[in-house]
Amino acid sequence: MTDLGEIMREEGGRYLDTRFTTADQRKAIRAITGCRTEAMGSVSATCEECHAEYRLFRSCRNRSCPQCQSEARSTWLAARQAELLPVPYLQVVFNVPAEFERLASYCPETIYDVLMRSAGQALIDVGWSRLHAQLGCLMQLHTWGQNLARHLHTHCVVPCGGFSKDGRRWISLEPDDFPVKALSTRFRTLLCRAIRAAAREGKLERLPDTVSLDHVLAVVIAHERTVYAKPPFGGPEQLLAYLAQYTHRVAITNERIESYENHQVTFRWHDYRDGKDKTCTLEAMEFLRRFLQHVPPTGFVRIRSYGFMANRNRKQHVDRARQLIGRSGTPRPRKPLEPIRLCPQCYAARRHERIPHFAPDPDVAPQLNIPHRPPPIHRLVV
């Protein structure tokens, strides 16, 4: 099966020679190129099926790599599912217009942080002002659409309810009671204030003269379809399972890549406008450009929580909420992930069982020798 690592090994060197890349993007290219190849080294492992010894290539553990950290991803999902409350949930999505997304091309860390903070604060403010309750949410930043184009938005998992001001009562809500219009207005207000504050603090100095901040903010204020809030199909478990696909990777999974030949990459994507699954074929350089624009800045936290679900006192608040709702105690702990390690031969014989495995392909192409190089001195042109 074609994967992103194979495409990186074939096209990564040419991309670095001909395209502008940031330090984070170059790091991702080197990591994904060498992931589970001889460049990362190997260790001896024993197959749990036939007990034969084989060599297991190490993974890069880069958070943009689509074939790394499956155990960490499963652990995160199990922990979040254990925190679910016995109430309805909402999927709340905060969107921004395309003009605002252009700012992220020059100042990604600042723009991403402003977007997430504004969305989280908007939920808290509207919860107090309209619902008289302290809401909580788990938020994840996505910078991509299904076709890998830039589409900046956040997904939020929001319980339908919250604590009263004195913390002694649980205020239950129906999904239809959620004030979407008020939330959208408050979000746009906070977003514009935060952008102006960032500009005054000099955090947007990399913006070129051709980008008018006043014009961008005017478009944001006029943008009506900012917030989407609906109960998730399949319940909160399915929504968390979807978000878990991108907790430790970005943009695309290897399963969606259909083929790579003649410097052309074909992958599947879902068009939400008409609800149909489609295929997209891109020239390899364009495919890598689209993928690499979603590599997050070093140290940036893409998963955050706000309100009573904030990390500091999340466990105590979840336990208290269960008691107030009427179901005290914690749910039965899930069985921890126990992946089966199989050699390539046993894995090939049992592929139809969809067993998690960590065996590498024995015929992996060698890694390209990609040297470090400084970024160009000219500005990025979008």
Label each residue of 289-345 as H, E or C: HHHHCCCCCCCCCCEEEEECCCHHHHHHHHHHHHHHHCCCCCCCCCCCCCCCCCCHH
Residue with tokens 């470090």, as numbered in its chain: 372
- The pLDDT assigned to 339 comes to 66
Q: Is residue 143 a contact partner of residue 152, using CB atoms and an 8 Å limit?
A: yes
Give CA–CA dist 61/65, Å, rounded.
Answer: 7
- The pLDDT assigned to 371 comes to 52
Residue type, 168: R
Give CA–CA dist 159/136, Å, rounded.
Answer: 7
* Per-residue burial over 230-250, b = 16 or more CB atoms within 10 Å of its CB, e = otherwise: ebbeeebeebbeebbebbbbb
CA distance to 38, 159, 300, 321, per residue, from 261 (Å): 24, 46, 34, 54
* H/E stretch holding 334: none
The radius of gyration of the chain from alpha carbons, rounded to an integer in Å, stands at 23
* H/E stretch holding 332: none
Which DSSP category does 134 fall into? B
How many C-beta atoms lie closer than 10 Å to residue 202's C-beta?
7
Give CA–CA dist 360/357, Å, rounded.
Answer: 9
- Contacts of residues 201-206 at CB distance under 8 Å and 24 or more positions apart, as own/partner, are 203/107, 203/110, 204/103, 204/106, 204/107, 204/110, 206/106, 206/107, 206/379
Query: What does each of the 382 residues of the chain score in pLDDT, given as a tens digit?
Result: 688 999 999 999 999 999 989 999 999 999 999 888 888 887 888 887 788 887 778 888 888 988 888 888 888 999 999 999 999 999 999 999 888 888 998 999 999 999 999 999 999 999 999 999 999 999 999 999 999 999 999 999 999 999 999 989 999 999 888 999 999 999 999 999 999 999 999 999 999 988 889 999 999 888 887 899 999 988 899 999 989 988 888 889 888 999 999 999 999 998 888 888 999 999 999 999 999 999 999 999 999 999 999 988 899 999 999 999 986 555 555 555 566 777 777 877 776 655 444 444 445 554 555 554 544 444 444 3
Give CA–CA dist 128/165, Å, rounded.
Answer: 8
Pair of tokens at residue 369: 């020798």
E-state strands within 272-335: 276-283, 303-307
Give CA–CA dist 36/23, Å, rounded.
Answer: 22
Would you tell me the crossing angle of helices 23-34 and 284-292 to the nearest 10 degrees? 120
CA neighbours closer than 13 Å in the CB half-sphere of residue 86: 13
Q: Which residues pair with 171 in a beta bridge?
A: 162
CA distance to 80, 87, 88, 178, 327, per residue, from 84 (Å): 7, 8, 10, 19, 12
Q: Which residues pair with 54 in a beta bridge?
A: 45
Q: Is residue 48 a contact partner of residue 342, using CB atoms and an 8 Å limit?
A: yes
Q: Is residue 56 a contact partner of residue 35, using CB atoms and an 8 Å limit?
A: no
- Give the residue among 202, 375, 236, 381 at the shortest CA–CA distance from 309: 236
- The pLDDT assigned to 122 comes to 96
* H/E stretch holding 266: strand 264-271
Q: Is residue 95 a contact partner of residue 144, using CB atoms and an 8 Å limit?
A: no
